[in-house]
Amino acid sequence: MVSEFMLQQTRIETVLPYYGRFLKAFPSLLRLARAPLQKVLKFWAGMGYYARARNLHAAARIIRRDLSGKIPATKEALLTLPGFGPYTAGAVASIAFNQRTAAPDGNVKRVLSRLVNAPASAPSLERKRQLEFYLEDLIPERQASGFNQALMDLGAMVCLPVRPKCHLCPVRRFCPFTTEEKKKGIPPERRRREEIWAIALIENKGRFLIHRQEGKGLLGGLWQFPTLVSSPKTGSGPADDSLPAKRTLRKYLRDRFGITTRFRNPLSPLRHEFTHIRATLCPYLFSLAPGKSVAKTIPALETRWVKISGLSRYPISRAMTKVADLLNAERQ
């Protein structure tokens, strides 16, 4: 269950280092269910798509509370839990419980599309149903776990999106995949949305202000430096140069956190890429205005003043870790 949640939209090379640490921290479903969400997010931090961690934690709690701590064995029952879509439910049911059900990830869909010569022009929902029906008919009795994993590996290592290794394929004599299709060029890179992140690093006696991001968005539940996001295309919000960002950030800090700051200097911009976002991180160093009492200026929000060395105690994103590393380097 943990591995399938982690592998949603993330490559296995990225997942591997996190997987071992996560299972060491939460070696059983009971330990995961009992853990506070902030601890779960801390061990997930850096892998992205944090809704997966929230859903995994919620599913563990439901299983513990309502299902006597036993993970359901069927795809239908798994689909009632948070974070379980058709693929994840099918993968857990077939691989863990050997249920004869489809687990059509991207690799499996590609293999089957080529093997049955499914027309790409067919409506996606109709095509998906056809492939799942065909796959479930193929799965041998009492061998669902091994069969589904083998099909996933075939797509991951042999039946590649571009330049498939057809000469190594064990089912090549049944496959109508044409030579012309094999010669098609590399598909264009998925376009990422460009964003500018103006990040306020507010120092107060060697500590910096961080807050917990509200909601369930991209970095929901994680801790971060106060940040304003804008698009370089619209021209709205903070810009790349320090003067507009200085003014906009100071107003934001005053309105949102109730604090008055003194601008010191900008730091070097950084680049950070998410799956669907290419962000330019623009950090700006501030000091808390002299004579201000922290206790009186910070409203009742989830905020902390922390040393940079103490950030590791909080679940923070890889983007914010980059900014903290840059700050450390600039101060040395």
Which residues are CB-contacts of 203 (< 8 A; sequence separation ≥ 6)? 264, 285, 286, 287, 288
Residue 234 above 80 pLDDT?
no
Is the pTM higher than 0.85?
A: no
pLDDT score at 273: 84
Q: Looking at residue 50, what is its pLDDT?
A: 87
* 286 — pLDDT class (breaks 50, 70, 90): very high
Give the least confident one: 46-50, 101-105, 134-138, 244-248.
244-248
Asked if residue 246 lies in contact with residue 164, where contact means CB atoms within 8 angstroms, the answer is: no
The fraction of the chain above a pLDDT of 90, given in percent, is 43
315 and 213 in contact (C-beta within 8 Å)? no
Q: Give the pLDDT confidence score for residue 296 in this predicted structure.
A: 46
Domains in the chain, please, with CATH? 2-182 (1.10.340.30), 193-331 (3.90.79.10)
pLDDT tens digit sequence for 142-159? 899 999 999 999 998 999
Name the band, by pLDDT with cuts 50, 70 and 90, for residue 175: confident
Instruction: Identify the H or E element spanning 322.
Output: helix 318-331
Element (H, E) at 203: strand 193-204
Question: If 0-12 CB within 10 Å is exposed, 13-18 middle and 19+ buried, where does residue 235 land?
Answer: exposed
Q: Is the per-residue pLDDT at 214 higher than 90?
A: no
More confident residue, 116 or 160: 160
Residues in contact with 218: Cβ distance below 8 Å, sequence separation at least 6, in sequence order: 50, 274, 277
Dist CA 295 CA 288 (whole Å): 12
- Identify the residue with better confidence: 219 or 308: 308
Is a pLDDT exceeding 90 seen at residue 312?
no
> What are the catalytic residues?
4
Average pLDDT of the segment spanning 135-142: 85
Whether 39 has a pLDDT exceeding 90, the answer reads yes
Mean pLDDT, range 203-222, rounded to an integer: 84
- In three-state secondary structure terms, 235 is coil
Cβ-contact 90, 121 below 8 angstroms: no
Per-residue pLDDT of 42-94, as tens digits, reads: 999 888 888 899 999 999 999 999 999 999 999 999 999 999 998 899 999 99
β-pair type (261-266, 270-273): unpaired
Structure confidence at residue 258 (pLDDT): 86
